[in-house]
A and B are shown apart, each in its own frame.
Chain A
Amino acid sequence: MSVDVQVRPEVPAAPPSSYNRGRRVTARTVRYGLLFLFLLFVFIPVYVLLVTSFKPGAEAGVSGAWALPQNWTLDAWRSAWQTLSPSLWRSFAIAIPAAVVSAILGSMNGFVFSRWRFPGSEIIFTLFLFGMFIPYQAVMIPLRQLTGDLGLPGGVPTLIVVHIVYGIPICTLIFRGYYSTTIPAELVEASRVDGGGLLRTYASVVLPLSAPGFVVTLIWQFTSVWNDFLFAIFLSNTRNGPVTIALNALAGGQLTDYAASMAGALIASFPTLVVYIVLGRWFIGGLMAGSLKT
């Protein structure tokens, strides 16, 4: 590569080098200046959340709102925890099984749609994808009826099933993209020639290579189920629903206790933030896969 560059004709006369360096320094200063400015923009809400959550109720009002607390206290955290903790556990009880089951289904579907296609599989796959983009309002009214008819108890069990179902498209998409780039078609072919059936090929060739795909899918699914509000408000209530519902109730009243609701927002975001900070690289992998361009 470097040889190649050397034999190329000279780039048209460059301006004097000191001028060039000066410009480069300016460009770099502007670049970092802007980046830090935007960093500030992103952090403003975080500052407000943290600072307000440590204020006593009386201080959390409007005046002096941007100042640090005069009396630091954990009262708001305590009261938010008391209000939210039951729903927090329900959120785990919903998000973990929902993420695991849709990931497993997604893995099987993704394998078939990428490496064991059948006539019409492309069309079916596209029909799956459409299910990911629909506004769920378009299914919500009969869905309430259907989950009732299926005898699902309201709250956690209903939400697990619903999130599994509507998680299938995205999980299938992620695994399909993952398998079509990481599992060589020849490998599957070889297993088939050896007389390996579908399940054996899946279990012995595909699954052992699937760990990164599962990490990405599980993170993605866990985060979106955890953050869901729409299904929750239609299919549960503050007594049997997830933390988003409880938080909305805590923060949404006419006389909002800002200190408690901000502590609550931090508590409710804590699990997904930890996942993001610890496994950020895979989180971004899911983002990319979710954009169809895999």
Chain B
Amino acid sequence: MYDFAYHKPSTVADAVKLLADPDAKAISGGHTLLPALKHRLNKPTALVDLSGIAELRGIRREGNAVVIGALAKHAEVAASAEVAAAIPALAFMADHIGDVQVRNRGTIGGSVSNNDPAADYPAAVLGLGATIRTSKREIAADDFFLGMFTTALEPDEILTAISFPIPEKAGYAKMRNPASRYVMAGAFVSKGPQGVRVAITGAGPCVFRQADMEAALAANWSADAVAGIKQAPDDLNSDIHGSAEYRAHLVTVMAKRAVANAG
């Protein structure tokens, strides 16, 4: 890696100030950024380590929502009694991200801010109709994920927490990429205050909602309702691990399994 300055602020306000430098980068678990730095694919002037900011921690119930602080590690979400009681599908999803090392270092804020097209969390955020809280404002999930590795976050804006409305039912299913173990195609489905939602990750350049499946599930919440709905392969990812057609097929299979998992 190239040389960089290292800062460890203790408040969001201080972190935001440090991030005013357009070439500074925020880091939490570092599971995406550090490998990029080691490969010299990224040359930040400074790393702003968010791990010392207490206000970014915590998992709590707020009315009809579960609010998860940006620094919550995947393993913490997976083990949280609050999450398990309110949104078991979210705990299940967190428990199946990457491997043990990733789950013990990676954070929800880092994953959602990075918006890797093959990450798990964007599916849960969009599939549950969550609200992203930042250092400046609140952003609806539908307005947050803009494209591959691109979100509505501004350069000096930090994701502080995510508020997940508690659904009646929710489920997640995915097929892993055999090499990276990232998501090749995953579906997060829910029914609740945000309506019926089907969010697909891994298959395309960015997480997206599957409108035909949502309509079908709104009419009839059952695995059979989505089993016959085909995802168009246009614009889906294609690589040595699977064609766009294969991923399109997996979208249907995973949506069906996600509904079955939701009960």
A-B interaction: no
